[in-house]
Chain A
């Protein structure tokens, strides 16, 4: 085992190595980026020159020899932009991903979105958790879904994405550069209902029918530890279809329920 001095030396040397590698990488990027940018600029200039020449011969002058108004060109460009559907949009990998800025629509509001009847709630977002998830498919604007974003400040854009790491986690990329991690609100899902932990006190609930082990129903989220265990046995509750009892292998019991959607 290292004492604190040895560990500090080791940590500092690793940090130095990291800084050196970072500087080297930056140098390499700069070295290649400058010629690449020059090349791109030259190509772009070439294309522009070629395009201008073509326009003057094909677009600018019609069959009768009369010049077309420029507004006609602008309208066609605007129309082609309008036709881009949200599904064609790719995750924005610029400021939103790299900024790693914690952001909320309102400071006192917990982000919540209901997608396909499932509730996704903002997870306590810290550096490491935010690093864990990366945006995958664009679903739509969070303001178009039921939840807190709908009633929030409509001037802030809030793009909703699935994540590559888990189908139970969504990301909201806000127009102000922030990212919000939304976690599916439930520990397991049976008959399309998400159940959340209620208490260890069964509160008079009595077991009715055994459903089986919890394993196939558990909602896995990489950064969240569930109360329910894979080997817990699930039971229905007499007279209440929105509650279930889970019995751990050591005999302890807990009550789970379906939360009412807002």
Chain B
């Protein structure tokens, strides 16, 4: 049992709120970045991450998966994000001041969560890729999930994930090269 599962059981079975607080502390930033790769707006991603934790607290679903807690949590987050996109298909307009706020918030979160400068540069390049590419690269290279775990989160077969990663890396490499980077690990 990983620490996430342990804290969730503490919260659900022992009714200890600190269990949920610990989950939020441990997974909040990663979940926000992952949801940002789906919805493309860090503020919306933050709201959706909060909704995910609220769902854990109100519905108290059973962790049926045999994998890690993180995979399960990200799957719930992804479903909530897809519901959100379905309801807001038309997309909402973002004002200039909001754009400045968004990029400032994203930068500070990057500095605290990703830390390494080179990885931050790669993360920024992800922004110009297709949402599916962003998602798979985030899960596998920033969250260190295996292809099987990423497949479980994205509800795809392992084979689909492998081909998606291949295409995503190719696309990311092109983007990085046009910006003057050489990133050997992605070649």
Contacts and interface: CB of A to CB of B under 8 A. Distances in A.
B167 A10 contact: no
A14 B76 CA distance: 18
Interface string B6-48: 0000000000010011001100100000000000001100100
B115 interface: no
Given A1-B46, A225-B154, A127 B25 contact: no
A222 B86 contact: yes
B24 A227 contact: no
Given A2-B46, A223-B79, A225-B156, A12 B132 contact: no
B143 interface: no
Interface residues of A, number: 27
Where chain B touches its partner, the secondary structure class is helix
Contacts of B91: none
Interface residues of B, number: 40
A40 interface: no
A15 B58 contact: yes
A129 B75 CA distance: 10
Interface string A1-44: 11010011011101100110000000000000000000000000
B46 A11 contact: no
A119 to B, nearest CB: 16
B158 interface: no
Given A18-B58, A128-B80, A252 B167 contact: yes
Interface string B48-61: 01100110011101
A31 B160 CA distance: 54
A8 B21 contact: yes
B159 A225 contact: no
A197 interface: yes
Q: Which of B59, B65, B152 has the most CB of A within 10 A?
A: B59
Contacts of B24: 4, 7-8, 11
Contact of B20 (A1, A2, A12, A222): A12
A127 B20 contact: no
A89 interface: no
A129 B20 contact: no
Nearest to A100: B61
A4 B25 contact: yes
Given A197-B160, A227-B160, A124 B155 contact: yes
B46 A10 contact: no
Nearest to A9: B21
Contacts of B82: 223
Residue picked from A8, A14, A18, A200, most chain B C-beta under 10 Å: A8
A14 B132 CA distance: 31
Given A4-B24, A128-B79, A197-B160, A224 B155 contact: yes
A127 B57 contact: no
A7 B64 contact: no
A126 interface: yes
22 contacts: A1-B46, A4-B28, A7-B24, A7-B50, A7-B53, A8-B24, A8-B25, A11-B20, A11-B24, A11-B50, A12-B57, A18-B57, A19-B58, A126-B79, A127-B61, A128-B75, A128-B79, A129-B79, A197-B160, A200-B163, A225-B132, A225-B155
Interface of B: 17, 20-21, 24-25, 28, 42-43, 46, 49-50, 53-54, 57-59, 61-62, 64-65, 72, 75-76, 79-80, 82, 86, 105, 108-109, 132, 152, 154-156, 159-160, 163, 166-167
